[in-house]
Amino acid sequence: MSYQLNGKRKFDIAKVAQGVSVVHLYGEHLKAITTCNPCLQEQQKIAKLLSLLDERIATQNKIIEKLVQKGFLERKGDKKTKYLVPTHRGNSLITVMPEMIQSPTMTADWEQKLLLIERGEYDPEAFMTEITEMIEGLIRSYEVVKGANVLMSENKVIGKCPHCGAEVIERNKGWFCSNRECRFALWKDNAYFSCLGKHMTGQLAEKLVRDGRAKLKDCKSQKNGKTYNATVLMTTEADGRPQFSLEFDKGGK
């Protein structure tokens, strides 16, 4: 009903309204206006469809968050526009996966069959049997891609440690010096950058390791909420732990 009254039907309502400075609407006039609403069965179908869409969106969001947490995807962009890009690990996963799983045709086929299952037109047990047989077939016939152990290695090197010169490698929670006696580490969950409204990304970590500095745009002030641009400078303490400071356009820190 709200859709009817706020859509094209509002022009019909305006025609029967009376008054200039103060507009009046009377029940007897509204009774003369015909509205076309779906029957109860159709409304229930629409509600079910919208509910299914909400569930699909929620499922996709969970999958995306899982891929980000596992390091296969990372978020990029500014505060207005965010987008997802595959990480080195994500691209490596795509490279070593069987072509059948990479194909969007398989996803489309599964989605179609799930839709048929929802309608009661396809046997869910048959669907699960197909998936089981496909996985068993892949396990029997799949050959490991040459160099897969290198591509999927957890130890991606992003540069040399600015403190001791050893390799800095990426792990699940951040980027760490491979020298156990050195305490250099760039945590993904970094409190300093969180206070600036930023995240420690792979690109930022590589730039800090390589150059010891990186430009940041649209940092957020904790005092007044305003945004500003600055350059973050990185030095190391005696034990290798990084220290950060900001350099502004006018030279202040």
Q: For 90-110, what is the mean pLDDT?
A: 82
Q: Can you tell me the mean pLDDT for 184-212?
A: 92
Count Cβ atoms within 10 A of the Cβ of residue 199 and give its class: 0-12 exposed, 13-18 middle, 19 or more buried.
Answer: middle
pTM of the predicted protein model: 0.43
What average pLDDT score do residues 125-152 get? 77
Calpha distance 64→73 (Å, rounded): 8
Q: What is the pLDDT of residue 139?
A: 82
- From the centroid of its chain, how far is CA 18? 52
- Read off the pLDDT band of 1 (50, 70, 90): low
> Residues 5-35: pLDDT tens digits?
666 667 777 777 676 777 677 677 767 777 6
Q: Which of 94-108, 168-182, 219-233 has the lowest mean pLDDT?
A: 94-108
Question: Which residues touch 52 (CB under 8 Å, ≥6 apart)?
Answer: 118
184 has pLDDT over 90: yes
The alpha carbon torsion through 185, 189, 195, 196 (nearest 10 deg) reads 80
Residue 31's pLDDT is: 73
Banded model confidence at residue 72, pLDDT cuts 50, 70, 90: confident
Task: Say if CB 228 and CB 239 are below 8 A apart.
Answer: no
Q: Residue 118 to residues 97, 113, 128, 137, 213: CA-CA distances in angstroms?
A: 30, 9, 14, 27, 54
The Cα–Cα gap between 119 and 108 comes to 17
Question: What is the C-alpha to C-alpha distance for residues 135 and 151, in angstroms, rounded to an integer?
Answer: 23
Q: Place 175 in a pLDDT band, splitting at 50, 70 and 90.
A: very high
Ramachandran region, residue 71 (left: φ > 0; alpha: ψ -120 to 50; beta: rest): left
Radius of gyration in angstroms for the set of CA atoms belonging to the chain, rounded to a whole number: 29
Alpha-carbon 185 to chain mean position: 25
Checking if the pLDDT of 207 tops 90, the result is yes
Q: If residue 210 lies in a helix (H) or strand (E), which one and from where to where?
A: helix 202-211
Q: What is the pLDDT of residue 162?
A: 95
In this prediction, residue 145 carries a pLDDT of 61
